[in-house]
Amino acid sequence: MRKKLREIADIIGGELSGNGDLEITGVTNIDDAGPTDITFAVPPHLNKAAQSHAAAVIIPASVPEFDKPAVRVANPRVAFVKLLEMFTPKQAVQRGIHPAAVIGSGVKLGGNVAIMPCAVIADNASIGDNTVVYPHTYIGEAVEIGSDTIIYPNVTIRENCLVGNRVIIHGGAVIGSDGFGFITVGGKHIKVPQVGNVIIEDDVEIGANVAIDRATTGSTVVKRGTKIDNLVHLAHNVIVGENCFLVAQTGIAASARIGNQVTFAGQCGSAGHITIGDNCVFAARAAPISDVPSGSFYAGFPARPHQEWLRAESGLYKIADLLKKVRQ
């Protein structure tokens, strides 16, 4: 694809600065940008972008001067995403049911679906319009999947689970595996039947090798707009609110209740049966073990307010000096 810089400015609704006849053939990051590419930059990366090989740079509207042809916009990241989508069209998917797919009885398929080779759709499942099911995926009995959803290879969605519209599930994810429920009697572990399901609401993205356990009874729920990174585990009866971020290797124990717009950074863990309020942030490896009020920024194990954790960590490095003084 080729676009003049002035055309790009019109597309992203920005203010052009510099030669509008520059021909742009690609969109990429600052380090990889070449003489026909456009990139974006926000502070503190503006100088780096100005010295790069990029033909032009998308910058914040608040930047008064810049040493390269530029397009000023309110949000450079959003404009960059729009151009990425335009310059990198989605991979074409052949629609229809492949002869090597296995379709059970009573299955309802919407219009324009793609069911690829070796996918298995069990009895009485329902799949909405424009949804794509990649190879070697298993859709269990009575599963309901909405429209415009993408299910990548080797995904398992077990019986009775519900998946909404515009959901993306990456390879290796398991939705609806049994919750880890046992009663120990006389040193032996008796399995508790896990008879609930999982509900994934609209616009959720689930990373590779994520495991979301079905509820013991009722539902494990991931609410609309939440984004889950690779290798995350949600135990049975967890409820995750809207527009949350759960970053890689995070684990949430059973029956935890997480509010809206909550972020768990990498390798976080949460105790079960606790309630976390809206708009909380947990730094990497933080582990809340009790209820957390809305608007908190926590770190450490056990998780505590971030400033308190910083003071404690700083104190640890002074212990060697303190011990030396005590010996003296």
- pLDDT tens-digit map of 16-47: 999 999 999 999 999 999 999 999 999 999 99
pLDDT of res. 20: 95
Question: Is there a contact between 66 and 46 (Cβ–Cβ < 8 Å)?
Answer: yes
Cα 234 from Cα 265, distance rounded (Å): 15
Question: Cβ–Cβ contacts within 10 Å for residue 316, how many?
Answer: 8
Written as one letter, the residue type at 322 is L
- pLDDT tens-digit map of 273-286: 999 999 999 999 99
pLDDT of res. 313: 83
- pLDDT tens-digit map of 133-181: 999 999 999 999 999 999 999 999 999 999 999 999 999 999 999 999 9
pLDDT band at residue 316 using 50, 70 and 90 as cut-offs: confident
pLDDT of res. 315: 85
Enumerate the active-site residues. 236
Question: Is 85 strand, coil or helix?
Answer: helix
pLDDT of res. 317: 83
- What is the separation of C-alpha 98 from the centre of its chain, rounded to a whole number of angstroms? 29
Written as one letter, the residue type at 70 is A
DSSP state of 130: T
Q: Which of 245, 328, 312 is nearest to 284 (CA)?
A: 245
pTM of the predicted protein model: 0.91
pLDDT band at residue 91 using 50, 70 and 90 as cut-offs: confident
CA distances to 134, 195, 245 from 151, rounded to whole Å, are 6, 24, 20
Is the peptide bond prior to 305 cis by the omega test (within 30 degrees of 0)? Answer: no
Question: Cβ–Cβ contacts within 10 Å for residue 78, how many?
Answer: 12
- pLDDT tens-digit map of 216-261: 999 999 999 999 999 999 999 999 999 999 999 999 999 999 999 9
Question: Cβ–Cβ contacts within 10 Å for residue 41, how many?
Answer: 25
- What is the separation of C-alpha 302 from the centre of its chain, rounded to a whole number of angstroms? 25
Written as one letter, the residue type at 288 is P
Check whether 90 has a pLDDT greater than 90.
no
